[in-house]
Structure 1
Amino acid sequence: MALARAICLGEIVIDCFAQQSGLSGSEVTNWIPLPGGAPANVACGLVKLGAQADFIGAVGSDHWGTALIRLLADMGVGYSGVQTRMKAPTRQVFVTRNQQGDHTFAGFSENDPTVFADAHLFADAIDPMLFVGASFLVLGTVSLAYEDTRQSVDQAVRLAAGQGMTVLVDVNWRPMFWPHPAEAPGRVYDLIKQAQFLKVSTDEAEWLFGTQSAGAIARQLPHLQGVLVTAGAEGCHYWIMGNAGTIPGFLVDVEETTGAGDAFTAGFVRQLMHTGVACMRDEAIARKAVVYASAVAALTTTRPGAIAALPTPKEIEVFLYLNSSLSE
């Protein structure tokens, strides 16, 4: 049987992390550039977890864009869907952090968020053959902020539906990416209506649905097969095919939280690939999938860099063994 494959579409960027903690962006004197972007993080996470993944996005024809394509290749992520924009730079995102390791997005390398390559992913340049044989489509919502890339999201959803793929939306609300943030709720909600699985943080759940209850969200959107509401160190609330529960957070020494949510998404999709979506009707299997995703996220916070910090299957196996009270 062929291995399941996922397609992740959206932004791939350079995250510039403040080396000093507890300072504002204007006070930081040393930044460390690392690859990032939520859908790219998920694609890399899936491959590191032993799955197959392709990435669709756009980069500039600059040294950062070249470096990001090389990274995808080195990681083993399919990159034939990456478009290169000659007149738009690769986005640099500046990230500060507090003493607890929590991150704050401090700005971009240009003031206008629409000028970057990832805002100009062209739908007519997406190869439909890339979707043939794929099982999952993973989408964020940053892409909905820009006309070109929003059309690409629509195209990807149509192609996924034609192939019978499962669609997961990770809201990943980032208002600074949006030229007109007031437009976001409607666009995000419309995309969620076309997905089978939804991942939101507690803040995003309140923002979109007025509740942090995974079950209540599922009742608002009865077409969904699964809802995951992550609460950082406090864990995750879930509703999956009628199975509901809460997984408490793992206790780890946090170095950096950037990318933890993306790691969670990668871990959960990896479990969907491993068991098959239909098996999530089994209460124990559904719970195990959320525990696994939570472990991937927890381990990612113990090292810096959204992609570099992603754990291996062996690391997760050992971690779950040492934390067997949660993984049973």
Structure 2
Amino acid sequence: MILCCGEALIDMLPRESAEGDLFLPAAGGAVFNTAIALGRLGAPSGYFGGLSTDLFGQQLCAALDASNVDHALCPRSAAPTTLAFVTLKDGHATYAFYDENTAGRSLTEADLPILPTSTGALFFGGISLVSEPAADTYAALCSRAGSRLVMIDPNIRPAFITDEARYRARLTEMLAHADVVKVSDEDLDWITGTDDPRGLLASEQGPAVILMTKGSEGATAYFADETLSLPAQTAQVVDTVGAGDTFNAGFLAGLAQASALSRSALTAQTVRPAMELAIKAAAVTVSRAAANPPWAHELA
């Protein structure tokens, strides 16, 4: 099982109506979307995060069930669900988060499960790496990964960071445990202050592969001694919501299909087909409104 650890929330999506502008509640969150996409692609998918028992928490659980995602490890509480009000401009989304004292943000180390032996990989990312105390809880879980493959997509939102020093320290610690890190050029510049992804690579500790996504320009995988670049797939873009999350899921699903969910298996030979699946799946997501990743049969 690939266990996706992080935020689940409700995206309040703008919709026009005869009565004026409305918002449609849709299940979302970067890590949640990755778990959904993994389940739809046929990979054994699990989700771990704090879920509310409120009506929005019930909506999130129903969405996980519908996409074959195991959420049995999730602690439930009566605290509210995180809400993210979405603004779309030219297909690109910006968010206003309402996250104080929510079920997801309130996650503590006491809520951490004993990882099942069936857990082959852990995925972390999104705003869950910022919001405390949950952020420290996910860092603790990451440190307990052992020999399991760890992938991180920091998906950095500078405006959401209130304590940069603490966030940088936490992210640095987690990156030291990661095998795969996915970044955009904006993420890379914020983390390293450079445009060279190799600065994140280390021979023994830290990432073995850096995946850099470049939208319509495709994606590149950086290894210690080689580089692999693949073009994007042509798509009619409706919006980019969930595209990066789908890419992450496609990559992990591709590794799972190749029985390559281990650090030692991360070679150009195994990474190429995983990237191809990631790019193909993401192209479907951007062609549809909101985060609506494809099912495996849609890619056949």
Question: Structure 2 length normalisation: TM-score?
Answer: 0.90
Q: What is the CA-CA distance between 1:255 and the residue it aligns to?
A: 0.8
Moved segments of 4+, more than 4 Å: 219-222
> How far did residue 220 of structure 1 move?
9.2
Which residue pairs with 1:83 in the alignment?
75
CA offset at residue 178 of structure 1?
A: 3.4
1:264-303 alignment runs, 5 A limit: 264-275=247-258, 276=260, 277=262, 278-281=264-267, 283-303=268-288
What is the SS of the residue equivalent to 1:296? helix
C-alpha deviation, 1:234, in angstroms:
1.8
What TM-score does the superposition give when structure 1 sets the normalisation length?
Answer: 0.83
Q: How many residue pairs get matched? A: 294
User: What code does the residue aligned with 2:94 have?
Assistant: T
Partners of 1:214 and 1:238 within 8 A in 2:
no
Q: Partner of 1:44: helix, strand, or coil? A: helix
Q: Is the 8 A contact 1:213 1:229 kept in 2?
A: no
Q: Deviations over 1:30-77 (max 9, x none)?
A: 222211011111111111111111111112231101111122122211
What's the secondary structure of 1:116's corresponding residue? coil
Give 1:244's match in structure 2, choosing from 227, 231, 242.
227
Matches within 5 A, 1:66-81: 66-81=58-73
Contact in 2 for aligned 1:213/1:237 (Cα 8 Å)? no
Whole-angstrom distance in 2 between the partners of 1:139 and 1:235 = 22
Change (3 A) 1:221 1:38: farther
Deviation at residue 184 of structure 1 after TM alignment: 2.4
Structure 2 Cα separation of the partners of residues 217 and 122 of structure 1? 29
Residue identity in the other structure for 2:171: V
Tell me the equivalent position of 1:17: 13
CA distance, structure 2, for counterparts of residue 8 and residue 193 of structure 1: 18
- Tell me the SS of whatever aligns to 1:96: strand
Could you say which residue in structure 2 is the equivalent of 1:102? Answer: 92
1:311-326 equivalences in 2 (<5 Å): 311-317=294-300
Report what 1:25 is aligned to: none
- Measured at CA, do residues 92 and 220 of structure 1 come closer, stay the same or move farther in structure 2, by a change above 3 Å? farther
| CA distance, structure 1, for counterparts of residue 163 and residue 85 of structure 2 | 20
- Superposed, which structure 2 residues align to 1:75-224 within 5 Å? 75-86=67-78, 88-99=79-90, 101-105=91-95, 107-108=96-97, 110=98, 113-128=99-114, 130-161=115-146, 164-218=147-201, 223-224=206-207
Change (3 A) 1:144 1:216: closer
Letter matched to residue 146 of structure 1? S
> What CA RMSD, in Å, does the superposition of the two structures yield over aligned residues?
2.2
| Residue of structure 2 aligned with 1:51, choices 40, 43, 46 | 43
- Does structure 1 retain, via aligned residues, the 8 Å contact 2:47–2:74? yes
Task: Provide the rounded CA distance (Å) in 2 between the counterparts of 1:240 and 1:294.
Answer: 19
Kept in 1, the 8 Å contact 2:143–2:174? The answer is: no
- 2:31 matched to 1:39? yes
- Aligned partner of residue 286 in structure 1, secondary structure: helix
User: 1:151, 1:131 → 2: CA distance?
Assistant: 21
For structure 1, the 5+ residue unaligned runs are 21-27, 318-328
Q: SS state of the match for residue 153, structure 1?
A: helix
State the 1:208 CA deviation.
0.6
Q: CA deviation at 1:198?
A: 0.4
- In the alignment, the residues of structure 2 paired with residue 57 and residue 84 of structure 1 have an alpha-carbon distance, to the nearest angstrom, of 9
Three-state SS of the structure 1 residue aligned to 2:104 is helix
Larger helix share, 1 or 2: 1
Aligned identity (percent) is: 28
